[in-house]
Structure 1
Amino acid sequence: MVSENSRRIARNTVLLYLRTLFSQLIALYTSRKILEILGVEDYGIYNVVGGVVGMLTFLNGSMAVATQRFLTFELGRGDLKAYNRVFSMSCLIHIALALMIVIAAETIGLWFLNSYLNIPGERMTAANWVYQFSILSVFVGIIQTPYMASLTAHEHMNIYAYVGMGESVSRLVVVFLLLVINYDHLIVYALLCLIIQLISASIYRMYAVRKFDECRFKQLWNKSLFQSMLSFTGWNLFGTIAWILKDQGTNILMNIFGGAAINAARGVSYQVSNAVQNLVSGFSTAVNPQLTKNYAAGDRSGFHRLMMTSSKISFFLLLLIALPVMIEISYLLNLWLVEVPAYSVIFTQLILVEALINTYGGPMITGLMAMGNIKWYQVVVGSAMLLNLPISYVLLRTGHSIVTPLVVSIFVITLSLMLRLLFCRHQLGLSVRLYVSTVVVPTLGVAIISGIAPFAIHQSLTFGFFRLLAVGGVSLVSVSFFTYVLGLNSSERQLVRVGISKLLCKFR
């Protein structure tokens, strides 16, 4: 069983990696052209307007986590009837939730958009159209949540791979359509993105319904199940609000103090960061259902082992790509974009540092959610996350650099990570000392040592494509070598050797 689970994780990781690699290669071109076609100002407007709608989806974020947890838990127990009850209840709840968010978006959100955001007067009409399309997009995403959660719970990652590639090709088509359509490009872009999401959502839904009988909606109302899911969602809600305020709240704060051009720089930085993170996120997506199923099955030893191993591997996978990107980001942005927004370089570097720290927290969050008793965890960690916005506001208000909120965010994320580790010790029985010695020490050691040679090459060579290749090649070798020698234990190195041997045998 363990061997089969490991093979499933590896297979799903490869599928998601290939999907993301294909998508990001196309995204490198489409993002560049979109920024060129829309311009820095309109690109910033698109990001900040979408952020306003995103802030209103805080309840869906909590409900999505609850749905994923309850579905995967029942699948881990092997109770398909209970799974169908959870699925059907989730559909009803998400429909009601979607309607509530639309009402809030068309009242409070619309008022905020037109009263407080720093948007040029001549672009307010376009911004309002983008806002309406964003609301529809959010509505579709919310009612789609139970179906997406079911695909993840069943670990059918192949559908993500195929549909994701289709979405990438569709976004490439959008670029060419914008070049020939003689109308407001910002409005047209938002509309075409909505159409792509509608098509993707339809495909995911049809696949889930046809593939899994337990994903067929039934009209039922289970009061005890509703109360259980609502209780979980309620305590998770605080943490979700804190995360959204940290992320989208910071985006709006930077708009108020820096204008749409700063949002464009932050948007570009997140494009790069997301591209890097998405290349390695397939591993996390593949391993999370196994974490929940291990907990549901009562396999505590395997649960702890998988939590620590996945934290470590997630860090190394991200470091492999993030290190050369952080070192050569100035050249990469100039190679990628026609016009590089100010602050894009430092924004990207700081966001990638935060992303590396965040890799530790992902498996912890999944483990704590699987356990279900999240009341004090969310209150304490959520309160720590909330510190980001007021501290950033005070510092910006007193004249500090527009970069400050991202620096503050790194400190807040680190504090939150330490608090999560304490909760994992208290509620899941995870040894803090073992986690630090097994995960934190080797990962930080590899990150520091493997960065020496690439940085030295960066400093010694002149700006250009040859330096990019040299830094990238040395980073790949350095991170891989020190990960194997210093980052992995003996059993993990044995698994790597076996995996490489099997791969080589296929080519003989």
Structure 2
Amino acid sequence: MKSYATIGIIDVLLRFGVACLLYIINNDKLIVYGLAMFIVVAVDYSMYFLYCKKNFTECRFSFSKDASLYRSMLAFSGWNIFSSISMVLNGHVVGIILNMFFGPVINAARGISNQVNGAVSGFVSNFQVAVNPRIIQSYASNEMDVFYRLVNQSAKMSFFLLLVLVVPIWINIDVILKMWLGSVPQYAGDFCRIVFISSLINTFSLPLATAANANGNIRLFQTACGIFEIMNIPLSYVLLRYGCQPIAVYYLALTIVVITLFVRLFVLRRLIRFDVKRFLSSIVLRCIAIALTAFGGMYALSQVISNTNIGWLLLSVIMSILFTSSLIMALGLNKEEKYYLLNVLKTKLGRG
């Protein structure tokens, strides 16, 4: 993870350098930006390639005559590609449809919501990257109790990590966008709020996808998820064609995220005998109850505290983080998780 974090930091610095480069050049900035980002991606790939080649003996190119090996690899990668293509089409085609009906202003609002959500969700994605190898390893070792516990705990922790970040931004999003952009496109704040909720629900699905990959039989899992992702495109067009406002597309996307979560759960119950009832009761319902309490409490407080200037905004953000963290510690974690977390904090503070 240290090497992974180092490469991630280099990637961020390179992207920041690209942004700075645009200020000092006089050529076509769009072409330069595209070329520079291509170079950044190539550098990222090279670092990962060289690290794996140096540290893992199995990372070598070799030809095999085992036809069944090729078939299984192509099947696994093919179904993953199908799901990825579905997600890409969903993301970009819906943007085109919104542009057809409402023009570039709505697409600007959509771009802002995606950018804000990407910055926040990236933190949780990195946490899941750290957990994924252990989930796969426990399944491969047939340590099923450990496997199920890791899936459940990573889903819960991912949700709570994102919740701590989302609550203060969700409550203050209008003020934040106003300070950041000056002139805020219509619907930008509403888009951000719904996208945040979708991302929170989607955190439950991240370890479920890893669990399906660990099993290897992903055809049904990826097909079902991919179909629902693609269905967002024609349904969005129908809604807008019959006069709905652009916010309806986001509510539709949120609904599909919820449906897809249940589809993943029931497919996993068939594949690996996953305890769906326990996951819903002990993880999903508890997390949602804590989230509703956090959002409700901080929204009520925001009606009392004026957050129109930077001082009050910072106060609101600090109070949101403290309130949400307290709820998680008191109601979201069991004794074992609290003990582990406190030990980690003590160790880190002791080293500091």
User: TM-score, length-normalised on structure 2?
Assistant: 0.93
Distance 1:210 1:257 in 2: 52
What secondary structure does 1:387 align onto?
Answer: helix
Alpha-carbon distance, 1:342 to partner = 3.1
- Give the AA of the match of 2:347: K
- Give the AA of the match of 2:351: K
Q: How does 1:125-140 map to 2 (within 5 A)?
A: none
Distance 2:14 2:76 in 1: 37
Distance 1:377 1:174, change over 3 A: closer
Q: What residue in structure 1 maps to residue 16 of structure 2? A: 172
Alpha-carbon distance, 1:432 to partner = 1.9
343, 359, 364: which one aligns with 2:203:
359
Q: What residue in structure 2 maps to residue 75 of structure 1? A: none
**Is the Cα contact below 8 Å between 2:109 and 2:188 reproduced in 1?**
yes
Q: What residue in structure 2 maps to residue 469 of structure 1? A: 314
Distance 1:221 1:249 in 2: 41
What secondary structure does 2:243 align onto?
Answer: coil
Alpha-carbon distance, 1:338 to partner = 4.9
Distance 1:259 1:466, change over 3 A: same
Distance 1:340 1:494, change over 3 A: same
Q: How does 1:33-432 map to 2 (within 5 A)?
A: 157-432=1-276
**Is the Cα contact below 8 Å between 2:171 and 2:295 reproduced in 1?**
no
Distance 1:206 1:234, change over 3 A: closer
- CA deviations on 1:133-169 (whole Å, 9 max, x unpaired) are xxxxxxxxxxxxxxxxxxxxxxxx3233223222322
Distance 1:435 1:175, change over 3 A: closer
**Is the Cα contact below 8 Å between 1:455 and 1:471 reproduced in 2?**
no
Alpha-carbon distance, 1:371 to partner = 0.9
**Is the Cα contact below 8 Å between 2:94 and 2:233 reproduced in 1?**
yes
Distance 2:219 2:13 in 1: 43
- CA deviations on 1:171-193 (whole Å, 9 max, x unpaired) are 33323322221222222222222
- Give the AA of the match of 2:22: L
Q: What residue in structure 2 maps to residue 34 of structure 1? A: none
Q: Does 1:440 align with 2:313?
A: no
Q: What residue in structure 1 maps to residue 329 of structure 2? A: 484
Alpha-carbon distance, 1:406 to partner = 1.4
Cα RMSD between the aligned structures? 1.9
- Give the AA of the match of 1:169: L
- Give the AA of the match of 2:86: A
Distance 1:373 1:416, change over 3 A: same
- CA deviations on 1:42-80 (whole Å, 9 max, x unpaired) are xxxxxxxxxxxxxxxxxxxxxxxxxxxxxxxxxxxxxxx
- Give the AA of the match of 1:252: I
- Give the AA of the match of 1:341: P
Distance 2:350 2:2 in 1: 25
Return 5+ residue gaps in structure 1 as ranges. Answer: 1-156
Distance 1:209 1:485 in 2: 46
Q: How does 1:450-461 map to 2 (within 5 A)?
A: 450-461=294-305
- CA deviations on 1:401-448 (whole Å, 9 max, x unpaired) are 122221100001101101111122222122222112210121011101
User: TM-score, length-normalised on structure 1?
Assistant: 0.65
- Give the AA of the match of 1:342: Q
What secondary structure does 2:167 align onto?
Answer: helix
Distance 1:163 1:341, change over 3 A: farther
- Give the AA of the match of 1:447: A
What secondary structure does 2:97 align onto?
Answer: helix
- Between stretches 393-402 and 172-181, larger displacement belongs to 172-181
What secondary structure does 2:186 align onto?
Answer: coil
- CA deviations on 1:339-366 (whole Å, 9 max, x unpaired) are 4333221111111110000000111111
Q: What residue in structure 2 maps to residue 81 of structure 1? A: none
- Between stretches 472-481 and 186-195, larger displacement belongs to 186-195
**Is the Cα contact below 8 Å between 1:453 and 1:474 reproduced in 2?**
no
**Is the Cα contact below 8 Å between 1:457 and 1:470 reproduced in 2?**
no
Identity of aligned residues (%): 35
Alpha-carbon distance, 1:450 to partner = 1.8
Distance 2:331 2:116 in 1: 28
- Give the AA of the match of 2:124: V
Distance 1:182 1:282, change over 3 A: same
Distance 1:236 1:174, change over 3 A: closer
What secondary structure does 1:214 align onto?
Answer: coil
- Give the AA of the match of 1:271: Q
Distance 1:319 1:208 in 2: 34
Distance 1:477 1:238 in 2: 42
Distance 1:192 1:342, change over 3 A: farther
Distance 1:192 1:501 in 2: 43
**Is the Cα contact below 8 Å between 1:457 and 1:467 reproduced in 2?**
no
- Give the AA of the match of 1:177: L
Q: What residue in structure 1 maps to residue 351 of structure 2? A: 506
Alpha-carbon distance, 1:484 to partner = 1.1
Q: What residue in structure 2 maps to residue 449 of structure 1? A: 293
Distance 1:446 1:392, change over 3 A: same
Alpha-carbon distance, 1:221 to partner = 4.8
What secondary structure does 1:193 align onto?
Answer: helix
Alpha-carbon distance, 1:308 to partner = 0.4
What secondary structure does 1:218 align onto?
Answer: coil
Alpha-carbon distance, 1:499 to partner = 2.3
Distance 1:231 1:214 in 2: 21
